[in-house]
């Protein structure tokens, strides 16, 4: 019988519940420009572990990392309710855009 283990991230640096970008999300942009609270916009915060990004839908999104080489239409495609953890030390290094031109996107961000 397998033993169940709970994983807990303690003392999160930032938790943003709900970022939204309207239909103008056709180019990659830093996620911290679209959330509010500590670590957003010009007050980028240093992170210990990284960012858990979740697409709360309904439209598909693309997520990329600013330290990697990627073209205008690459990145990880996330459908509604899918999530991706990116190991990084800065919130601004995570980039997002819509998957289909002129569609808005909605997401949550949990950073530690």
Over residues 60-72, the pLDDT tens digits come to 999 998 866 556 6
**Ranges under pLDDT 50 in the chain:** none
Q: Give tens-digit pLDDT for 102-112.
A: 888 888 887 77
Enumerate domains of the chain plus CATH numbers. Answer: 14-111 (2.60.120)
- Written as six digits, the tokens of 12 are 């999160």
- Written as six digits, the tokens of 43 are 């007050």
Phi-psi sector, 39: left (phi>0), alpha (psi -120 to 50), beta: left
- pLDDT score of 65: 87
Give the H or E element holding residue 90.
none
Average pLDDT of the chain is 78
- DSSP conformation class of 4: P
53 within 8 A of 47, measured Cβ to Cβ: no
- Using the structure block, give the residue that is written with the tokens 């970022």: 19
């Amino acid at each position: 019988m397998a033993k169940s283990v709970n994983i807990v991230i303690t003392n999160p640096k930032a938790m943003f519940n709900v970022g939204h970008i309207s239909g103008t999300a056709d180019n990659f942009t830093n996620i911290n420009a679209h959330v509010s609270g500590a670590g957003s916009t010009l007050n980028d915060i240093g992170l210990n572990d990284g960012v858990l990004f979740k697409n709360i839908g309904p439209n598909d999104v693309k997520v990329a990392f600013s330290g990697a080489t990627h073209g205008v239409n690459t990145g990880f495609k996330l459908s509604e309710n899918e999530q991706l953890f990116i190991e990084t030390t800065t919130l601004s290094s995570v980039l997002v855009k819509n998957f289909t031109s002129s569609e808005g996107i909605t997401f949550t961000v949990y950073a530690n």
